[in-house]
Amino acid sequence: MEKIMEKENCYKIAVLVCGQLREFNIGVKSWDPLFDLNCDFYFSTWNKSSQSNFKWNDNFINDEKIINEQMIVDLIPKSSVLILDEEDYAHINKDKITDKQILHWKNTLKMCVNSGVEYDIIIVIRPDVFLDLPNFKKYVDDIKDKEIKTMNNTPPNWFYDIFFMGNFNTIKTFIEGIKESEITYVHEDLYKHLISLGLSLTFFDNEMKSVEIRPTENGFFEKNIDYDTIVKSNNDFILKYGKPN
């Protein structure tokens, strides 16, 4: 199948950044491969951010912080930002956190479409993701029609929703077609949805990595900004305190 574009360095790319901001200020330090491609960023997030339901010294702690647009545009000036009051969405089943994530996907996609910009590629990520993307342009060049690319640490018949990308029409079709009522087991059901649309799921090489950033002290990361340090710190944190939801 033909690649979506043949010319070098002429892609127009939208990055949809969706969900609670959490450790965005740390993750963004690893996003240079996206900045190098001059991407446009669309954010849909909540007006409050916290890690949910994790224990610290056997007590549930409240790390909630109030979010404002300046927290985002100070770090990525070229951003369109939508901040929602989560209380206005109390009707969404609290036991189906994925429905809220899909809401953010659909919000940012709508912002992207309404911008009037003709994008070639869409990348979807979480704010609190740390990336290790060597040779990323190579994978951008290789995107094919009706294909979604994601990380290689994905089990069979399973959709990795933290970082994925495809051409504009592919991602638009995938996100717009999601019916929240049909998503119970998020990773498995999103994969089934993808297949039902006639799309294919392909994987980056092992050199491409992403990981969620768990709660820790920012000062530690300021001295050790690399993927392996993030993974080790996450594992140490989870071993000691339990895994956040």
Residue-wise pLDDT for 123-181, tens only, equals 999 999 999 999 999 999 999 999 999 998 778 899 999 999 999 999 999 999 999 88
Residue 89 has pLDDT above 60, yes or no: yes
Residue 219 has pLDDT above 70, yes or no: no
Write down the pLDDT at residue 86. 85
| Side-chain-facing half-sphere of 36: CA atoms under 13 Å | 12
Extract the tokens encoding 61.
Answer: 């702690």
Write down the pLDDT at residue 147. 97
Write down the pLDDT at residue 225. 75
Element (H, E) at 219: helix 218-223
Domain boundaries, given as residue ranges, for the chain = 13-241
Average pLDDT of the residues in 44-63: 65
Burial class (CB in 10 A: 0-12, 13-18, 19+), 132: middle
State the DSSP string of 8-48. TT---EEEEEES--TTHHHHGGG-HHHHTTT-EEEEEEESE
Residue 217 has pLDDT above 90, yes or no: no
**Torsion, CA 210, CA 45, CA 98, CA 62, rounded to 10:** 90
What's the pLDDT band for 241 if we cut at 50, 70, 90? Answer: low
Residue 227 has pLDDT above 90, yes or no: no
Cα–Cα dist 219/65, whole Å: 18
pLDDT tens digits along 183-205: 888 899 999 999 999 999 999 99
Q: Looking at 34-48, 91-105, 163-177, 219-233, which range is the least confident one?
A: 219-233
Residue 103 has pLDDT above 80, yes or no: yes
Write down the pLDDT at residue 242. 65
Write down the pLDDT at residue 117. 96
- Topology annotation, domain 13-241: Spore Coat Polysaccharide Biosynthesis Protein SpsA; Chain A (3.90.550)
pLDDT tens digits along 5-45: 444 457 999 999 999 998 899 899 999 999 999 999 999 99
Extract the tokens encoding 194.
Answer: 């993808």
Residue 111 has pLDDT above 80, yes or no: yes
